[in-house]
Amino acid sequence: MRGLAVRLEGRLIRHAQVHRPALRWALPPGLDRRLTAARVTGFRRRAKYILMRLDGNDTVLLHLGMSGRMAITEGPPPAPVAHEHIVLHVEDGWRIALVDPRRFGSVHLVGTAAEDEHHLLRHLGPEPLSDRFDAAALAASLAGRRTPVKVALLDQRIVAGLGNIYVCEALYRARIDPRRAAASLSAAEIARVVPAVQTVLSEAIAAGGSSLRDYVQPNGELGMFQHAWQVYGREGQPCPDCPGAPPCPGVVRFTQAGRSSFACPRLQT
DNA sequence: CAAGAATCCTGTCAGC
DNA sequence: TGCTGACAGGATTCTT
């Protein structure tokens, strides 16, 4: 969102092209006409949704899904890019394309005054970096739930914006086994989860932010946060926090709700 | 109601 | 080199 805001806030979209009728869901009819000649008045984020406000009281609700990205270039890209579904030509010559090979992303239009009433946003839980996400709120949301705590933290109604990587990393930092039933966590354990989530997200945002500085590079560099993973994607490797002797038994991987989980079998109990 | 499975789609990588 | 299957940062909808 910040990368888009730098190039779009206050600018006029000279021309917009929509190359596909649908991503995950049908795109709004006439989206290209609505975006063409629109001025972007501001940005906001809610959970994993980017909200781009246009003059005329419409807000574009954008989700990048699993494979979506915004390709930002000064003028046309040096070589054709596959899976460019929406292209915005900004008045100052910059070009912003929604690229999403798997097409799990989505775009909706919603009245600016009713953003949070949209069906995709209405049931979202608290923002994890806000003070509405605290141990008391999380305890209330986990109470009575027999689902694994990993699955509960992925539920956007409990806390909004955590994905698979960050849940794995947060539960490692909180020293909690992802397979534990949500309701089985003690108050002390829940009190560890909250700062673990916030630390992981803050570090990831800071590391991802470093990629925003070179987003103009034609090769589309990734963020840096993948180098900070302590358990995710590290099956069989020693975790970083186990004491040296005896050595860490190694990060284990297992499936929960169809997603890969990673954990240290010694530290996470 | 809750929980798990299936689903949408393409790209990448490991193994043969 | 080419084929196959597993798997991938998500979230809804269907089934059990």
pLDDT in tens, chain A (269 residues): 888 999 999 999 999 999 999 999 999 999 999 999 999 999 999 999 999 999 999 999 999 998 888 999 899 988 888 999 999 999 999 999 999 999 999 999 999 999 999 999 999 999 999 999 999 999 999 998 989 999 999 999 999 999 999 999 999 999 999 999 999 999 999 999 999 999 999 998 888 754 544 444 444 556 778 778 899 999 999 999 998 889 999 999 999 998 999 999 999 99
Q: Are A235 and A251 a contacting pair, CB within 8 Å?
A: yes
Rg (CA), chain A: 20
How far, in Å, are A9, A53, A95, A237 from residue A39 at the CA level? 8, 9, 15, 50
Record the tokens describing residue A59, joined without a space: 């807000």
**CB A120 under 7 Å to nucleic chain C:** yes
Instruction: From residues 37-66 of A, list those within 7 angstroms of strand C by Cβ.
Output: 47-48, 63, 65-66
Phi, then psi, of A239 in degrees rounded to 5: -75, 155
Q: How far is the CA of A257 from the C1' of C5 (A)?
A: 20
How far, in Å, are A138, A199, A231 from residue A128 at the CA level? 10, 10, 21
CA closest to C1' of B10 belongs to A102
CA closest to C1' of B9 belongs to A102
Q: At what angle do helices A187-212 and A164-174 cross, to 10 degrees?
A: 130
Contacts of A126 (CB under 8 A, 6+ apart): A132, A133, A137, A159, A160
Burial class (CB in 10 A: 0-12, 13-18, 19+), A245: exposed
Q: What is the pTM of this model?
A: 0.94
Which of A227, A213, A237, A259 is CA-nearest to residue A66? A259
> Measured over all CA atoms, what is the biggest interatomic distance in chain A, rounded to whole angstroms?
65
Q: How far is the CA of A7 from the C1' of B15 (A)?
A: 45
Q: Nearest nt (C1') to A165 (CA)?
A: C9
Q: How far is the CA of A243 from the C1' of B13 (A)?
A: 33
Which of A58, A54, A57, A56 is CA-nearest to residue A42? A54
Q: How far is the CA of A258 from the C1' of B4 (A)?
A: 9
Nucleotides of B under 7 A from a protein CB: 2-11
Q: Nearest nt (C1') to A152 (CA)?
A: B3
Query: Can you say whether the dihedral through the CA atoms of A43, A45, A46, A51 is positive or negative?
Result: positive
Instruction: From residues 183-212 of A, list those within 7 angstroms of strand C by Cβ.
Output: 208
Q: Nearest nt (C1') to A183 (CA)?
A: B2
Q: Could you give the CA distance from residue A218 to residue A206 in angstroms, rounded to a whole number?
A: 22
